[in-house]
Structure 1
Amino acid sequence: MTRLIFSFALSVFSLSTHAQEFRLNSADIQHGKQVKDAYVLNGSGCSGKDVSPKLSWSGEPESTKSFAVTMFDSDAPTGSGWWHWTVVNIPRNVHSLARDAGNKSGANVPSGALQGRTDFGRPGYGGPCPPAGDKTHHYHFKVWALKVERVPINSESSGAMVGYMLNTNSVGTAELVPVSER
Protein backbone atom coordinates (compact mmCIF):
# COMPACT_ATOMS: atom_id res chain seq x y z
CA MET A 1 0.00 0.00 0.00
CA THR A 2 2.81 2.41 0.89
CA ARG A 3 4.52 1.59 -2.40
CA LEU A 4 1.26 2.29 -4.30
CA ILE A 5 0.80 5.68 -2.59
CA PHE A 6 4.44 6.59 -3.26
CA SER A 7 4.10 5.62 -6.95
CA PHE A 8 0.91 7.66 -7.28
CA ALA A 9 2.50 10.71 -5.61
CA LEU A 10 5.57 10.41 -7.85
CA SER A 11 3.32 10.22 -10.95
CA VAL A 12 1.37 13.33 -9.93
CA PHE A 13 4.60 15.23 -9.20
CA SER A 14 6.04 14.16 -12.56
CA LEU A 15 2.96 15.31 -14.44
CA SER A 16 2.82 18.64 -12.63
CA THR A 17 6.46 19.43 -13.34
CA HIS A 18 5.95 18.83 -17.07
CA ALA A 19 2.67 20.74 -17.45
CA GLN A 20 2.93 24.06 -19.24
CA GLU A 21 1.41 27.17 -17.75
CA PHE A 22 -1.12 28.94 -19.98
CA ARG A 23 0.48 32.35 -20.63
CA LEU A 24 -0.37 35.55 -22.49
CA ASN A 25 2.59 37.66 -23.66
CA SER A 26 3.08 41.00 -25.36
CA ALA A 27 6.02 43.25 -26.16
CA ASP A 28 3.53 46.14 -26.54
CA ILE A 29 1.83 46.08 -23.13
CA GLN A 30 3.09 45.03 -19.71
CA HIS A 31 1.27 43.80 -16.62
CA GLY A 32 0.90 46.68 -14.13
CA LYS A 33 2.52 49.28 -16.43
CA GLN A 34 1.01 52.35 -18.13
CA VAL A 35 -0.37 51.65 -21.61
CA LYS A 36 1.70 53.40 -24.32
CA ASP A 37 0.05 56.09 -26.48
CA ALA A 38 -0.08 53.95 -29.64
CA TYR A 39 -2.58 51.63 -27.97
CA VAL A 40 -4.70 54.42 -26.44
CA LEU A 41 -8.06 55.57 -27.85
CA ASN A 42 -8.09 58.31 -30.45
CA GLY A 43 -11.03 60.36 -29.22
CA SER A 44 -12.91 61.10 -25.96
CA GLY A 45 -10.15 63.50 -24.95
CA CYS A 46 -7.28 61.11 -25.73
CA SER A 47 -4.98 61.37 -28.73
CA GLY A 48 -3.61 57.84 -29.13
CA LYS A 49 -3.48 55.83 -32.32
CA ASP A 50 -6.11 53.29 -31.17
CA VAL A 51 -4.08 50.29 -32.37
CA SER A 52 -4.53 46.93 -30.66
CA PRO A 53 -1.29 45.51 -29.21
CA LYS A 54 0.45 42.40 -30.52
CA LEU A 55 -0.47 39.43 -28.32
CA SER A 56 0.78 35.84 -28.23
CA TRP A 57 -0.05 32.86 -26.03
CA SER A 58 1.13 29.36 -25.26
CA GLY A 59 0.56 26.47 -22.86
CA GLU A 60 -3.19 26.16 -23.39
CA PRO A 61 -5.02 23.07 -22.09
CA GLU A 62 -5.00 20.06 -24.42
CA SER A 63 -8.80 20.12 -24.69
CA THR A 64 -8.75 23.58 -26.34
CA LYS A 65 -10.73 23.75 -29.59
CA SER A 66 -10.58 27.53 -30.20
CA PHE A 67 -9.52 30.80 -28.57
CA ALA A 68 -11.01 34.19 -27.81
CA VAL A 69 -9.37 37.46 -26.73
CA THR A 70 -11.04 40.19 -24.70
CA MET A 71 -10.11 43.55 -23.20
CA PHE A 72 -12.21 44.79 -20.30
CA ASP A 73 -11.87 47.86 -18.05
CA SER A 74 -13.03 46.76 -14.61
CA ASP A 75 -12.69 50.32 -13.23
CA ALA A 76 -14.90 52.19 -15.71
CA PRO A 77 -17.40 54.37 -13.82
CA THR A 78 -20.42 52.58 -15.28
CA GLY A 79 -21.31 50.10 -12.55
CA SER A 80 -20.61 47.26 -14.99
CA GLY A 81 -17.14 47.97 -16.42
CA TRP A 82 -16.38 48.65 -20.09
CA TRP A 83 -15.77 46.19 -22.96
CA HIS A 84 -12.98 47.53 -25.16
CA TRP A 85 -12.50 44.52 -27.43
CA THR A 86 -13.83 41.02 -28.04
CA VAL A 87 -12.51 38.55 -30.64
CA VAL A 88 -13.94 35.02 -30.78
CA ASN A 89 -13.66 31.87 -32.88
CA ILE A 90 -9.89 32.14 -33.24
CA PRO A 91 -8.78 28.76 -34.66
CA ARG A 92 -6.89 26.40 -32.34
CA ASN A 93 -3.73 26.56 -34.46
CA VAL A 94 -3.46 30.37 -34.09
CA HIS A 95 -1.34 31.51 -31.12
CA SER A 96 -1.02 35.24 -31.72
CA LEU A 97 -2.76 38.37 -32.90
CA ALA A 98 -0.68 40.89 -34.84
CA ARG A 99 -0.51 44.56 -33.85
CA ASP A 100 -3.70 46.24 -35.16
CA ALA A 101 -5.57 42.92 -35.41
CA GLY A 102 -8.44 44.82 -33.77
CA ASN A 103 -8.76 47.25 -36.67
CA LYS A 104 -12.39 48.30 -36.95
CA SER A 105 -12.56 46.94 -40.51
CA GLY A 106 -12.15 43.38 -39.19
CA ALA A 107 -9.71 42.64 -42.02
CA ASN A 108 -6.80 41.93 -39.64
CA VAL A 109 -8.32 39.16 -37.49
CA PRO A 110 -7.41 35.53 -38.32
CA SER A 111 -9.56 33.77 -40.89
CA GLY A 112 -12.75 32.52 -39.20
CA ALA A 113 -12.46 34.87 -36.22
CA LEU A 114 -15.02 37.57 -35.44
CA GLN A 115 -14.99 40.80 -33.41
CA GLY A 116 -18.06 41.49 -31.28
CA ARG A 117 -19.62 44.88 -30.49
CA THR A 118 -17.82 46.79 -27.75
CA ASP A 119 -19.20 49.40 -25.37
CA PHE A 120 -18.15 51.97 -27.98
CA GLY A 121 -21.14 50.64 -29.98
CA ARG A 122 -19.18 48.91 -32.74
CA PRO A 123 -16.87 45.94 -33.35
CA GLY A 124 -13.11 46.48 -33.19
CA TYR A 125 -10.52 47.53 -30.65
CA GLY A 126 -11.08 50.70 -28.62
CA GLY A 127 -8.04 51.67 -26.57
CA PRO A 128 -7.86 52.95 -23.00
CA CYS A 129 -8.97 56.50 -22.23
CA PRO A 130 -10.05 56.76 -18.59
CA PRO A 131 -11.78 59.95 -17.47
CA ALA A 132 -9.26 62.71 -16.64
CA GLY A 133 -8.50 62.76 -12.91
CA ASP A 134 -10.16 59.39 -12.27
CA LYS A 135 -8.41 56.59 -10.38
CA THR A 136 -6.05 54.22 -12.16
CA HIS A 137 -7.92 51.92 -14.53
CA HIS A 138 -6.97 48.26 -15.01
CA TYR A 139 -7.32 46.86 -18.53
CA HIS A 140 -7.77 43.09 -18.50
CA PHE A 141 -6.40 41.59 -21.72
CA LYS A 142 -7.42 37.95 -21.53
CA VAL A 143 -7.00 34.99 -23.85
CA TRP A 144 -9.60 32.29 -23.38
CA ALA A 145 -9.06 28.62 -24.27
CA LEU A 146 -12.47 27.25 -25.25
CA LYS A 147 -13.96 23.75 -25.36
CA VAL A 148 -15.90 24.56 -28.55
CA GLU A 149 -14.73 25.45 -32.06
CA ARG A 150 -17.19 28.33 -32.36
CA VAL A 151 -19.29 30.41 -29.99
CA PRO A 152 -22.66 31.47 -31.43
CA ILE A 153 -22.26 35.24 -31.57
CA ASN A 154 -22.13 37.83 -34.34
CA SER A 155 -20.63 41.31 -34.74
CA GLU A 156 -23.63 42.85 -32.96
CA SER A 157 -23.30 40.67 -29.84
CA SER A 158 -22.62 42.74 -26.74
CA GLY A 159 -19.56 42.35 -24.53
CA ALA A 160 -21.83 40.94 -21.81
CA MET A 161 -23.14 38.23 -24.17
CA VAL A 162 -19.62 37.42 -25.36
CA GLY A 163 -18.45 37.28 -21.72
CA TYR A 164 -21.28 34.89 -20.86
CA MET A 165 -20.46 32.58 -23.78
CA LEU A 166 -16.74 32.61 -22.91
CA ASN A 167 -17.31 31.86 -19.23
CA THR A 168 -19.68 29.02 -20.19
CA ASN A 169 -17.17 27.43 -22.59
CA SER A 170 -13.80 28.20 -20.98
CA VAL A 171 -11.24 25.50 -20.20
CA GLY A 172 -8.58 28.05 -19.20
CA THR A 173 -7.53 31.69 -19.32
CA ALA A 174 -4.35 33.74 -19.28
CA GLU A 175 -4.24 37.47 -18.62
CA LEU A 176 -2.14 40.65 -18.76
CA VAL A 177 -3.42 43.71 -16.90
CA PRO A 178 -1.75 46.99 -17.92
CA VAL A 179 -3.06 50.23 -16.41
CA SER A 180 -3.88 53.74 -17.56
CA GLU A 181 -4.49 57.05 -15.86
CA ARG A 182 -4.55 60.64 -17.05
Structure 2
Amino acid sequence: MSNFALTSPEFNDQDPLQLVHEFDGYDGSGQNRSPWLQWQGAPEGTRSFALTLYDPDAPTGSGFWHWILFDIDSSVTQLAAGLGSTDGTDLGASGTHAANDYGAIGYGGPCPPKGLSVHRYIFTVHALGVPKLGLPTNATNAVVRFFIYQNTLATAILTGLYKR
Protein backbone atom coordinates (compact mmCIF):
# COMPACT_ATOMS: atom_id res chain seq x y z
CA MET A 1 0.00 0.00 0.00
CA SER A 2 1.47 3.30 -1.09
CA ASN A 3 1.10 6.60 0.77
CA PHE A 4 1.97 8.51 -2.39
CA ALA A 5 -0.35 11.54 -2.50
CA LEU A 6 -0.75 14.70 -4.59
CA THR A 7 -2.44 17.75 -3.05
CA SER A 8 -2.84 21.47 -3.62
CA PRO A 9 -3.38 24.34 -1.18
CA GLU A 10 -5.53 25.89 -3.94
CA PHE A 11 -8.17 23.17 -4.39
CA ASN A 12 -9.20 19.80 -3.04
CA ASP A 13 -9.76 16.66 -5.09
CA GLN A 14 -12.95 16.97 -7.19
CA ASP A 15 -13.29 20.70 -6.40
CA PRO A 16 -13.50 23.44 -9.05
CA LEU A 17 -10.37 25.06 -10.40
CA GLN A 18 -10.30 28.87 -10.36
CA LEU A 19 -10.54 31.44 -13.15
CA VAL A 20 -6.85 32.27 -12.54
CA HIS A 21 -6.05 28.72 -13.79
CA GLU A 22 -8.07 29.12 -17.01
CA PHE A 23 -6.27 29.39 -20.35
CA ASP A 24 -5.76 32.94 -21.64
CA GLY A 25 -6.25 32.26 -25.34
CA TYR A 26 -8.95 31.34 -27.83
CA ASP A 27 -11.98 32.58 -25.91
CA GLY A 28 -10.50 31.89 -22.45
CA SER A 29 -10.14 34.84 -20.12
CA GLY A 30 -8.02 33.42 -17.29
CA GLN A 31 -4.41 34.07 -16.34
CA ASN A 32 -3.18 30.59 -17.38
CA ARG A 33 -1.48 30.17 -14.00
CA SER A 34 -0.64 26.63 -12.97
CA PRO A 35 -1.76 25.74 -9.44
CA TRP A 36 0.51 25.10 -6.49
CA LEU A 37 1.02 21.34 -6.27
CA GLN A 38 2.76 19.26 -3.63
CA TRP A 39 3.33 15.55 -3.15
CA GLN A 40 4.59 13.16 -0.50
CA GLY A 41 5.12 9.48 0.11
CA ALA A 42 6.93 8.58 -3.11
CA PRO A 43 7.95 4.92 -3.18
CA GLU A 44 11.46 3.69 -2.50
CA GLY A 45 13.54 3.72 -5.66
CA THR A 46 12.07 6.98 -7.00
CA ARG A 47 14.81 8.72 -8.98
CA SER A 48 12.75 11.50 -10.62
CA PHE A 49 9.20 12.69 -11.16
CA ALA A 50 6.96 13.67 -14.06
CA LEU A 51 3.69 15.55 -14.00
CA THR A 52 0.85 15.43 -16.50
CA LEU A 53 -2.45 17.28 -16.74
CA TYR A 54 -5.13 15.63 -18.85
CA ASP A 55 -8.75 16.45 -19.71
CA PRO A 56 -10.49 13.19 -20.71
CA ASP A 57 -13.73 15.11 -21.41
CA ALA A 58 -12.42 17.35 -24.21
CA PRO A 59 -14.46 16.88 -27.38
CA THR A 60 -11.54 15.60 -29.46
CA GLY A 61 -12.06 11.84 -29.43
CA SER A 62 -8.82 11.45 -27.47
CA GLY A 63 -8.97 14.03 -24.68
CA PHE A 64 -6.56 16.93 -24.31
CA TRP A 65 -3.10 17.11 -22.71
CA HIS A 66 -2.69 20.44 -20.90
CA TRP A 67 0.70 19.97 -19.24
CA ILE A 68 3.62 17.54 -19.51
CA LEU A 69 6.57 18.17 -17.20
CA PHE A 70 9.33 15.57 -16.82
CA ASP A 71 12.87 15.06 -15.49
CA ILE A 72 11.85 16.64 -12.18
CA ASP A 73 14.61 15.93 -9.65
CA SER A 74 13.73 13.40 -6.95
CA SER A 75 14.40 16.04 -4.27
CA VAL A 76 11.48 18.18 -5.52
CA THR A 77 8.19 17.67 -3.68
CA GLN A 78 6.23 20.69 -4.85
CA LEU A 79 5.72 23.03 -7.77
CA ALA A 80 4.99 26.64 -6.91
CA ALA A 81 1.92 28.36 -8.33
CA GLY A 82 2.71 29.70 -11.78
CA LEU A 83 5.79 27.54 -12.32
CA GLY A 84 4.22 25.79 -15.31
CA SER A 85 3.37 29.09 -16.92
CA THR A 86 7.02 29.85 -17.63
CA ASP A 87 8.54 29.38 -21.06
CA GLY A 88 10.25 26.27 -19.76
CA THR A 89 13.79 27.34 -20.50
CA ASP A 90 15.13 27.51 -16.93
CA LEU A 91 13.20 25.17 -14.66
CA GLY A 92 16.33 23.71 -13.07
CA ALA A 93 15.48 20.81 -10.77
CA SER A 94 11.80 21.40 -11.51
CA GLY A 95 12.06 19.62 -14.85
CA THR A 96 11.58 19.99 -18.56
CA HIS A 97 8.37 20.84 -20.38
CA ALA A 98 7.02 19.03 -23.43
CA ALA A 99 4.59 20.81 -25.74
CA ASN A 100 0.97 20.55 -24.66
CA ASP A 101 -1.98 20.01 -27.02
CA TYR A 102 -2.29 23.78 -27.47
CA GLY A 103 1.08 23.44 -29.23
CA ALA A 104 2.85 25.50 -26.57
CA ILE A 105 5.56 24.68 -24.04
CA GLY A 106 4.41 24.61 -20.42
CA TYR A 107 1.06 24.72 -18.67
CA GLY A 108 -2.07 25.31 -20.72
CA GLY A 109 -5.04 25.87 -18.45
CA PRO A 110 -8.58 24.60 -18.76
CA CYS A 111 -10.73 26.16 -21.45
CA PRO A 112 -13.65 23.81 -22.13
CA PRO A 113 -16.23 24.96 -24.65
CA LYS A 114 -18.79 27.28 -23.06
CA GLY A 115 -22.04 25.64 -22.09
CA LEU A 116 -20.78 22.06 -21.93
CA SER A 117 -20.87 19.93 -18.80
CA VAL A 118 -18.08 20.03 -16.21
CA HIS A 119 -14.70 18.74 -17.42
CA ARG A 120 -12.26 16.80 -15.25
CA TYR A 121 -8.64 18.00 -15.15
CA ILE A 122 -6.50 15.12 -13.92
CA PHE A 123 -3.14 16.12 -12.44
CA THR A 124 -0.92 13.04 -12.13
CA VAL A 125 2.51 12.96 -10.57
CA HIS A 126 4.54 9.93 -11.63
CA ALA A 127 7.35 8.57 -9.46
CA LEU A 128 9.93 7.34 -11.96
CA GLY A 129 12.67 4.77 -11.54
CA VAL A 130 15.14 6.69 -13.74
CA PRO A 131 16.85 10.04 -13.05
CA LYS A 132 16.21 11.36 -16.57
CA LEU A 133 14.14 10.15 -19.51
CA GLY A 134 16.99 11.01 -21.91
CA LEU A 135 14.73 12.52 -24.56
CA PRO A 136 15.54 15.18 -27.15
CA THR A 137 14.08 18.64 -26.51
CA ASN A 138 11.74 18.30 -29.50
CA ALA A 139 10.16 15.00 -28.40
CA THR A 140 6.38 15.08 -28.85
CA ASN A 141 4.19 14.86 -25.80
CA ALA A 142 3.06 11.38 -26.93
CA VAL A 143 6.67 10.14 -26.95
CA VAL A 144 7.37 11.79 -23.60
CA ARG A 145 4.24 10.22 -22.09
CA PHE A 146 5.28 6.81 -23.49
CA PHE A 147 8.61 7.02 -21.66
CA ILE A 148 6.93 8.35 -18.51
CA TYR A 149 4.60 5.36 -18.41
CA GLN A 150 7.43 2.94 -19.21
CA ASN A 151 9.34 4.14 -16.14
CA THR A 152 6.52 4.78 -13.64
CA LEU A 153 6.83 3.13 -10.23
CA ALA A 154 3.68 4.75 -8.80
CA THR A 155 1.26 7.59 -9.46
CA ALA A 156 -0.65 10.08 -7.32
CA ILE A 157 -3.69 11.85 -8.75
CA LEU A 158 -5.56 15.07 -7.97
CA THR A 159 -8.58 16.02 -10.06
CA GLY A 160 -9.90 19.55 -10.49
CA LEU A 161 -13.19 20.37 -12.18
CA TYR A 162 -13.95 23.24 -14.53
CA LYS A 163 -16.91 24.56 -16.50
CA ARG A 164 -17.45 27.80 -18.39
CA contact (8 A) 2:76 2:93 kept: no
In 2, distance between residues paired with 1:66 and 1:102? 17
* Counterpart mapping for 1:1-182 below 5 A: 21-106=3-88, 109-111=91-93, 113-182=95-164
Question: Identity across aligned pairs (percent)?
Answer: 37
CA RMSD of the aligned region, Å?
1.6
TM-score for both structures, normalised by structure 2: 0.93
> Could you list the per-position Cα deviations for residues 35-65 of structure 1 after superposition, in whole angstroms to 9, with x for gaps in the alignment?
1011111122121110111111000001100
In 2, distance between residues paired with 1:112 and 1:96? 9
Unpaired stretches in structure 1, ≥5 consecutive residues: 1-15
In 1, distance between residues paired with 2:51 and 2:92? 12
CA contact (8 A) 1:102 1:109 kept: no
Change (3 A) 1:149 1:35: same
Q: Where in structure 1 do 4 or more consecutive aligned residues deviate above 6 Å?
A: none
CA contact (8 A) 2:69 2:95 kept: yes
In 1, distance between residues paired with 2:86 and 2:136? 15
In 1, distance between residues paired with 2:19 and 2:95? 26
Unpaired stretches in structure 2, ≥5 consecutive residues: none
Which protein has greater RCO, CA pairs closer than 8 Å, 6+ apart?
2
Answer 1 or 2: which has greater helix percent: 1
> Could you list the per-position Cα deviations for residues 73-117 of structure 1 after superposition, in whole angstroms to 9, with x for gaps in the alignment?
111111111110111000111111111111232256343620001
In 1, distance between residues paired with 2:143 and 2:98? 9
TM-score for both structures, normalised by structure 1: 0.84
Structure 2 letter corresponding to 1:138: R
In 2, distance between residues paired with 1:22 and 1:71? 17
Deviation at 1:157, TM superposition (A): 2.5
Larger Rg belongs to: 1
Which residue of the partner structure matches residue 13 of structure 1?
none
Question: What secondary structure is seen at the aligned counterpart in 1 of 2:146?
Answer: helix
